[in-house]
């Protein structure tokens, strides 16, 4: 029974596809394979050189028969090729690619790279041109390689500053800049309380923002930043409550305000004083962080606006509360850094909010506002921009003293930026100037040597915000006179400002007035229903051809009359009435005197009523005034009889 089962099991295994399981795996000697491949390559290169030499000799002698013979491989070469093909599996694939199908190509056709029309050129002339072309190609290739090497070695050539566009935010300082991760939408905020949204793909050369709003009413905008997904925007202003907006500017959440009468800030649900800075977590899309004048750094969750997630409380060397002026996350989101008013830079572990992990007591001058902290892309280096006109580079592994420092970088703003280039080889910051005392500059420092390698004069105002987007390779700058500039290079940059500068301005559409009133009567009979105007433009074109409808009315006559027309008293009815009122000097305060003024003329020259009743009109008899009437007139008002 067992012997009958075995073949049936084997048949089942072959049907199921695993009949080969259990066999010993095939082994390969890699060293022998590599050695055989090396020998094959050497032999092949020798044959190619020999064929080229023979072909050159044949061309010089002009014997085509010999060239055909030399081009045909010998039997020995064919046998060697067969042995090489049977040697290794790796060489089989390369040989199969290099084999030619059909008869061998003539040497003249193979030597000429381009198809020439007409008789062949002389051999000497062809060789000289070929050699010269080869030399030129070699030189050009060497030059391009050298230029590429120079571009790779010199980070200054990667700065995209050949072109720029200017976005007019307003007239006051642009204190906040934000760009979404894809680089499609830019948002600016300033001291004029406005937040403007700019869409590069939707703008034309007019460079107009598609939305303007005031999310925080009468509070200056301190910071704007898109989340890592780009679907929401964090707005930090001068009040105590940060806001989160969606991409179109509609409110998503607003942080709660804390109780200002509680001493311990850890027991309040939110900030109790003005905000200074804020940023999103680089890995968690729902988490963001804010710092405030109440002496705390708080993290928040977008889904729970009623309370913060955690609180970090910076402390001075004496253990007193200090105000954080800027805050940021590390690139991996594991560290939280804050720059304080006492000149310290304090870094915590994100999951441990009590004690600092790194602490530098004298990073900047005490009493100056550290305006920006920025981690490099490798997560090791920290750049700090101080209110003491310095820019410093720190290694967080040795956080006691700065690695490099740059001085005399004027800073008048509490939000002056610094950032790293996308390749981490340059550090960028802006300088401040007083009004009409020079130009604000964008300064570039080499990260390794910290020498100033480049600078851009932006405008005749301070450079406050700067942002170098890694995907677009474009630099956004916010200035003190209400401008947002975008620097780009048509070759090195991508999308962004390049999308809107190529679009021409849209023609302004003039208000088209209807030539005649159109009354919509849906229930009228067809014979009384007016034909609907399909297009006002066509109707305007027809009316333009009509001499009556297109007749320009005569303007009002000014000055003396001409052409049979009398000059008008005024352009409007009101001016005509005012002019006539000014000319009328009559006094109508006493109506009796106004009527009797015409009595003498009416009696002497009756015209209207007296001639009609002249024969029948009785003579009027008027009552004479008596003393009783005079006494009655002299009585006080309260004694007179009420009629």
The length of the chain is: 643
Query: How far is the C-alpha of 122 from the C-alpha of 507, rounded, in Å?
Result: 63
Segment (H or E) for 51: helix 30-61
In a domain, 356, yes or no: yes
In a domain, 449, yes or no: yes
In a domain, 628, yes or no: no
pLDDT band at 607 (very low <50, low <70, confident <90, very high): confident
Is residue 66 predicted with pLDDT exceeding 70? no
- Read off the pLDDT of residues 401-458 as tens digits, 9 standing for 90 and up: 889 999 888 899 988 999 999 888 899 999 999 888 888 889 999 988 889 999 998 8
Q: What does the pLDDT average to over 348-369? A: 83
Is residue 143 predicted with pLDDT exceeding 60? no
pLDDT band at 584 (very low <50, low <70, confident <90, very high): low
Lowest model confidence (mean pLDDT) among 68-77, 412-421, 467-476, 500-509: 68-77
Is residue 558 predicted with pLDDT exceeding 80? no
Q: What are 465's strand-pairing partners?
A: 478
pLDDT for res 543: 84
- Read off the pLDDT of residues 320-339 as tens digits, 9 standing for 90 and up: 889 999 999 998 888 999 99
Lowest model confidence (mean pLDDT) among 110-114, 248-252, 385-389, 570-574: 110-114
In a domain, 572, yes or no: no
Q: What does the pLDDT average to over 45-58? A: 84
- Read off the pLDDT of residues 233-252 as tens digits, 9 standing for 90 and up: 999 999 999 999 998 888 99
Place of tokens 């008002």: 637
- Read off the pLDDT of residues 146-158 as tens digits, 9 standing for 90 and up: 555 555 678 888 8
Q: What is the mean pLDDT of the chain?
A: 78
Instruction: Answer with the residue of higher pLDDT: 524 or 587.
Output: 524
- Read off the pLDDT of residues 545-554 as tens digits, 9 standing for 90 and up: 888 888 877 7
Measured at the CA of 122, the angle between CA 118 and CA 125, to 5 degrees, comes to 115
Q: How many domains does the chain contain in total?
A: 1
In a domain, 379, yes or no: yes
Q: What does the pLDDT average to over 453-474? A: 90
State the virtual CA torsion across 338, 343, 344, 350 in degrees, nearest 10: 0
Give the DSSP letter string of 573-637.
HHHHHHHHHHH-----S-HHHHHHTTHHHHHHS--SSTTTTTTTPPPP-PPPP-HHHHHHHHS-G
In a domain, 261, yes or no: yes
Lowest model confidence (mean pLDDT) among 181-185, 273-277, 571-575, 598-602: 571-575
pLDDT for res 177: 92
**For the domain that residue 252 is a member of, what is the CATH number?**
2.130.10.10
Instruction: Answer with the residue of higher pLDDT: 71 or 493.
Output: 493
Percent of the chain predicted with pLDDT > 70? 73
In a domain, 363, yes or no: yes
Domain extent at residue 398: 163-502
Does this model's pTM top 0.85? My answer is: no
pLDDT for res 369: 86
Query: How far is the C-alpha of 350 from the C-alpha of 310, rounded, in Å?
Result: 9
In a domain, 188, yes or no: yes
């Amino acid at each position: 029974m067992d012997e009958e089962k075995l073949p049936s099991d084997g048949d089942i295994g072959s049907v199921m596809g695993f009949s080969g399981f259990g066999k010993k795996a095939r082994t390969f000697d890699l060293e022998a394979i590599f050695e055989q491949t090396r020998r094959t390559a050497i032999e092949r290169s020798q044959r190619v050189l020999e064929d080229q030499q023979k072909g050159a000799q044949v061309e010089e002698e002009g014997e085509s028969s010999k060239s055909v013979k030399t081009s045909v491989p010998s039997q020995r070469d064919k046998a060697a090729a067969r042995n090489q093909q049977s040697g290794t599996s790796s060489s089989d694939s390369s040989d199969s690619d290099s084999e030619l199908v059909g008869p061998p190509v003539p040497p003249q056709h193979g030597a000429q790279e381009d198809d020439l029309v007409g008789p062949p050129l002389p051999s000497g002339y062809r060789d000289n041109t070929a050699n010269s072309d080869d030399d030129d190609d070699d030189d050009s290739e060497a030059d391009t390689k050298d230029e590429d090497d120079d571009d790779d070695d010199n980070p200054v050539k990667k700065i995209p500053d050949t072109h720029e566009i200017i976005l007019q935010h307003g007239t006051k300082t642009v204190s906040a800049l934000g760009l979404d991760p894809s680089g499609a939408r830019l948002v600016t905020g300033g001291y004029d309380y406005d937040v403007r949204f700019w869409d590069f793909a939707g703008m034309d050369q007019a460079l107009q923002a598609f939305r303007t709003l005031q999310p925080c009413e009468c509070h200056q905008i301190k910071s704007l930043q898109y989340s890592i997904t780009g679907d929401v925007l964090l707005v930090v202003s001068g009040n105590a409550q940060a806001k989160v907006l969606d991409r179109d500017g509609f409110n998503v959440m607003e942080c709660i305000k804390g109780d200002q009468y509680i001493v311990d800030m850890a027991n309040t649900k939110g900030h109790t004083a003005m905000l200074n800075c804020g940023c999103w977590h680089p890995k968690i899309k729902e988490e963001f962080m804010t710092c405030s004048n109440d002496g705390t750094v708080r993290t928040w969750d977008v889904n729970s606006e009623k309370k913060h997630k955690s609180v970090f409380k910076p402390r001075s060397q004496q253990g007193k509360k200090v105000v954080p002026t800027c805050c940021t996350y590390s690139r991996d989101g594991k560290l939280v850094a804050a720059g304080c008013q006492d000149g310290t830079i304090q870094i915590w572990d994100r999951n441990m909010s009590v004690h600092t992990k790194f602490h530098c007591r004298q990073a900047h001058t005490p009493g100056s506002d550290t305006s920006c902290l920025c981690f490099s892309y490798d997560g090791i280096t920290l750049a700090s921009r101080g209110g003491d006109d310095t820019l410093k580079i720190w290694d967080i592994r040795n956080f006691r003293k700065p690695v490099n420092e740059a001085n005399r970088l004027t800073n008048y703003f509490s939000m002056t930026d610094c950032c790293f280039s996308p390749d981490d080889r340059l550090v960028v910051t802006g300088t401040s100037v007083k009004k009409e005392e020079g130009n604000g500059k964008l300064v570039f420092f080499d990260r390794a040597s910290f020498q100033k390698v480049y600078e851009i004069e932006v405008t005749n105002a301070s450079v406050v915000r700067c942002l170098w987007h890694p995907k677009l390779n474009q630099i956004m700058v916010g200035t003190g006179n209400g401008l947002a500039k975008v620097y780009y290079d048509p070759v090195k940059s991508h999308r962004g400002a390049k999308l809107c500068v190529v679009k021409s301005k849209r023609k302004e559409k003039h208000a088209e007035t209807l030539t005649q009133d159109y009354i919509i009567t849906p229930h009228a009979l067809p014979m009384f229903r007016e034909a609907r105007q399909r297009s006002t433009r066509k109707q305007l074109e027809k009316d333009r051809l009509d001499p009556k409808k297109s007749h320009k009315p005569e303007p009002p006559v000014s000055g003396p009359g001409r052409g049979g027309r009398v000059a008008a008293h005024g352009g409007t009815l009101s001016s005509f009435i005012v002019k006539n009122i000014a000319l009328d000097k009559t006094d109508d305060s006493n109506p009796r005197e106004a009527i009797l003024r015409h009595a003498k003329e009416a009696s002497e020259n009756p015209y209207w009523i007296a001639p009609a009743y002249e024969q029948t009109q009785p003579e009027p008899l008027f009552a004479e005034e008596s003393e009783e009437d005079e006494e009655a007139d002299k009585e006080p008002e309260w004694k007179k009889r009420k009629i």
